[in-house]
Structure 1
């Protein structure tokens, strides 16, 4: 019987929409596309996830690759992405219903050290995370999904029995990582109702 539910964050609980985040600050189409590719360069975000680069270092790299006229707005887009994370329809209600039915709730996310410090400054995120029994972010640990170590870490930290634990993520690679240590995986496709039916079947 599943008693513990571990959720990924981006594209499971919230939309991490890079186009939306950039357009709020850079209106010109060509500038927006150019800036978006730089601001959300996967190399930077992977380094943020594993804690090997800081926000300030990323902003310096962004400025080194963009025209000076875009520096201010590009850095605003980068600094404020945390405020531009709309919830995926139906997911907050599902989290609340799992909790009301006695389930234990956790978040396991590949995300930066700075996010782990800043999310409490965002009222909607602070309220969301208050529903959870535990949070594990990769940046402060220096280990990321789908490594065995991060799944073993969350099991150990919160004394979870793996056979009683379910992990929900939009990445098949991360699901495979969870299943490799005996956690039941669910590959989320954006459909909260389908996940609800799966959990409460």
Structure 2
């Protein structure tokens, strides 16, 4: 496990499989049960149907997303609850100790959250955080939070990285971006941001164990 360069003053965190555990295979199986064919091209870690991009950038709302799933599945009988349950099956939870680590890191670095997310997932996560940790959201762990569907931009497009850098006056050479998606890291690296690919069994607790 590498050490963090001493020049790093800012850390931008992805959320899924960096802070909050997710499982793509669970959701693929759930979509298959709804009648989705070719689920690997419909929804996976590396590629997915355009409906997900539209949902993650706020171009469509939750109701439009659900109607889109019904149309793709050719299942007009699906209820909102069935679709939400299928979509939220991706979400597992926060590993014990991650929140404490984020608070310690916030004292040492300027920290930010940059997540490709959507209305249904964020609602589920906020309810989870309230139930499990009595938290109103993730805002207390970071200087600023960027959710793709609220800012209208998503990774790996460079515009979302440029916004984070410019709005917070971050020097790219002093900034580290941690994500589990190589395509997201490539854009950040092309802009001159330091990057770290989080892959199982890596965790942020292992990465920062000497803090």
Flag the 1:104–1:60 CA change in 2: closer, same or farther, 3 A. same
Which residue of structure 1 lines up, in the alignment, with residue 60 of structure 2? Answer: 53
Q: Is the 8 A contact 2:62 2:119 kept in 1?
A: no
Flag the 1:31–1:179 CA change in 2: closer, same or farther, 3 A. closer
- Residue 174 of structure 2: which of 164, 167, 171 is its match? 164
Structure 1 residue 14 corresponds to structure 2 residue 26: no
What's the TM-score once normalised by structure 1's chain length?
A: 0.75
Alignment length (residue pairs): 193
Structure 2: gaps spanning 5 or more residues:
1-6
- Residue 150 of structure 1: which of 149, 154, 160 is its match? 160
Flag the 1:117–1:76 CA change in 2: closer, same or farther, 3 A. closer
Flag the 1:68–1:153 CA change in 2: closer, same or farther, 3 A. closer
Please report the RMSD computed on the Cα atoms of aligned residues, expressed in angstroms.
3.5
Flag the 1:45–1:83 CA change in 2: closer, same or farther, 3 A. closer
Structure 1: gaps spanning 5 or more residues:
none
Give the helix-richer structure, 1 or 2: 1
* Offset from partner CA, 1:56-93 (integer Å, 9 cap, x none): 111112223254665355224157x2994411455334
- Residue 130 of structure 1: which of 136, 140, 153 is its match? 140
* Offset from partner CA, 1:37-68 (integer Å, 9 cap, x none): 49956432222122222211111122232546
